[in-house]
A and B are shown apart, each in its own frame.
Chain A
Amino acid sequence: KQEVTQIPAALSVPEGENLVLNCSFTDSAIYNLQWFRQDPGKGLTSLLLIQSSQREQTSGRLNASLDKSSGRSTLYIAASQPGDSATYLCAVVGGAGGGADGLTFGKGTHLIIQP
């Protein structure tokens, strides 16, 4: 069964720092990987989608990489701002037991950017 792990579970850094969030998955037979942001009590906002054939995607200050063979992805946030404070979720499509094209999520990284 596909399992997704996110490290760290929580992170608090001063404003302006660059930071890296990590995601690993147990079954490398994925179709794609998606990073989401979730604000408290809210739904999910898609940040970046990486297809299995791609190595990375960039959007503004965000860069996500994918190493499918090793089952890892990272989300890099440059020049962090207090508005980046949220929970960041990594999810994959595919892999054993994940439900046909359904997403398997990690538990998320709770990020706090201190002003």
Chain B
Amino acid sequence: DTGVSQDPRHKITKRGQNVTFRCDPISEHNRLYWYRQTLGQGPEFLTYFQNEAQLEKSRLLSDRFSAERPKGSFSTLEIQRTEQGDSAMYLCASSFLGPAASYGYTFGSGTRLTVV
């Protein structure tokens, strides 16, 4: 297991189309996070899973966004009816939460979404 994998690396889509991104975390990690990063800003938290349960969603995650993590393995992030404001880098991270809090996060390379 070489790290967190994200697919695709780049996605260009027309406004109004649906897109889906995939994240494969480090297999030993039980937590998976999605972040969004726009130009010149730090990443912003979207949602996270512990195993297969989605435990928290940011208010940034509008009704057009949905995330799943079936069987506690890979995760998908779907954006429906994309808007130009959705253009950003979508980052996935995983971590292992032990009894003494997090042991640090490992990020994937991200998916760059451009909505035209």
Q: What's the least CB distance linking A110 to chain B, in Å?
A: 9
Total interface residues on B, CB under 8 Å, equals: 30
Among candidates A44, A45, A100, residue contacting B43 with C-beta atoms closer than 8 Å: A44
Among candidates A44, A100, A105, residue contacting B56 with C-beta atoms closer than 8 Å: A100
Of residues 69 to 116 in B, which have CB atoms within 8 Å of A's CB atoms? 89, 91, 93, 95, 97, 101-110, 112
Per DSSP, chain A at the interface is: strand
Say yes or no for A95: interface residue by CB 8 A criterion. no
Say yes or no for A89: interface residue by CB 8 A criterion. yes
Q: Report A-chain residues with C-beta under 8 Å of the C-beta of B58.
A: 99
Among candidates A4, A91, A93, A102, residue contacting B101 with C-beta atoms closer than 8 Å: A93
**Contact indicator A103/B41 (Cβ below 8 Å):** no
Q: Report B-chain residues with C-beta under 8 Å of the C-beta of A94.
A: 101
Q: Report A-chain residues with C-beta under 8 Å of the C-beta of B95.
A: 101
Say yes or no for B33: interface residue by CB 8 A criterion. yes
Q: What's the least CB distance linking A9 to chain B, in Å?
A: 9
**Contact indicator A105/B102 (Cβ below 8 Å):** no
Say yes or no for B29: interface residue by CB 8 A criterion. no
A108 vs B37: C-alpha distance when bound (angstroms): 12
Closest residue of B by beta carbon distance from A9: B40
**What are 26 residue pairs bridging A and B, where the CB atoms are less than 8 Å apart in the complex?**
A4-B42, A31-B102, A32-B101, A34-B105, A42-B110, A43-B107, A43-B110, A44-B43, A44-B93, A46-B106, A46-B107, A49-B103, A89-B42, A99-B45, A100-B55, A101-B48, A101-B95, A101-B101, A102-B45, A102-B48, A103-B43, A103-B93, A107-B40, A107-B41, A107-B42, A108-B42
